[in-house]
Amino acid sequence: MDFIGAYSVGNLSYLLKGFLITLEVAVISIILSFVIGSLLGTLRYAKIPVSSKIVAVIVETIRNSPLLLIIFFSYFGLREVGLKLEIMPAAIMALTIFESAMISEIVRSGLNSIEKGQIEAARSSGLTYIQTMWHIILPQALKRMIPPLVSQFISLLKDTSLAVVIALPEMLHNAQGIYNGNVTYVIPIFILVALIYFIVNYCLSLVARALEKRLDTNQKDGKNGNRRIRAASLSG
């Protein structure tokens, strides 16, 4: 184990470069998946006869498949049917597909956690369905969704490392580049990468927990709702 050699300035900046790619891919993917996931989640929540069922089948299929398989599929599989993506777009696409399905469940359980009586009350006071959703249900649901969304971002950051299999130049890929040149660097580099991941994700998880606590004290019935959402977002 050669810690001093492994942590040379050149190696560190190379790792950092990889981390920036990790961050970039994760941020782009979470934004895209939030948009798509909200759409899918709302569609499933609204119980529109056929489309809700179709969305349910798609979401459950994706949620129950390994992400690694989806990554391979986006990069190699889609090539065969004419969609030739570069490495980075393929990685973003795979992560977006997977996370959209996950986030749609967060959105759906967030919406479900709002009492049905609120819809009835709003509707009977004269608001239309769309107005009710926009002014009454969504603002409350969104607030409850924030902590599980932060947790989801943590798993997305971790999952981005899987894109190493299609040679996305993210942190783990660059780490491999470093230790492939010198076997004594393997453990020091692994420790460093783990620490970087830990520090970033732990800080994010503290943010998620603080937000959760604030919500719990803000709303009396928040605790129950949040627990249900958290159960939906528990992902490894």
What residue ranges bind other proteins (CB under 8 A)?
A: 60-61, 63-69, 72-73, 76-81, 154, 158-159, 161-162, 164-165, 172, 179, 183, 186-187, 190, 193-194, 197-198, 201-202, 205, 228, 231, 234-236
Give the nearer residue to other proteins in terms of CB position, either 127 or 200: 200
State the nearest-atom distance from the C-beta of 105 to other proteins, in Å. 11
Concatenated DSSP letters of 163-186: GGGGT--SHHHHHHHHHHH-GGGH
Smaller CB separation from other proteins, 34 or 173: 173
Please tell me the number of Cα atoms within 13 Å of 205 on its side-chain side. 13
CB of 234 to other proteins, least distance (A): 5
To other proteins, the closest distance from the beta carbon of 229 in angstroms equals 12
The answer to whether 159 and 95 are in contact (CB under 8 A) is yes
Nearer to other proteins, 133 or 172 (CB): 172
| Exposure string for 133-145, b = 16+ CB within 10 A, e = fewer | beebbbebbebbb
For residue 120, the minimal CB distance to other proteins (Å) is: 21
User: Are the C-beta atoms of 158 and 197 separated by less than 8 Å?
Assistant: yes
Query: Residue 67 or 149: which CB sits closer to other proteins?
Result: 67
Q: Locate tokens 């010198």: which residue?
A: 182
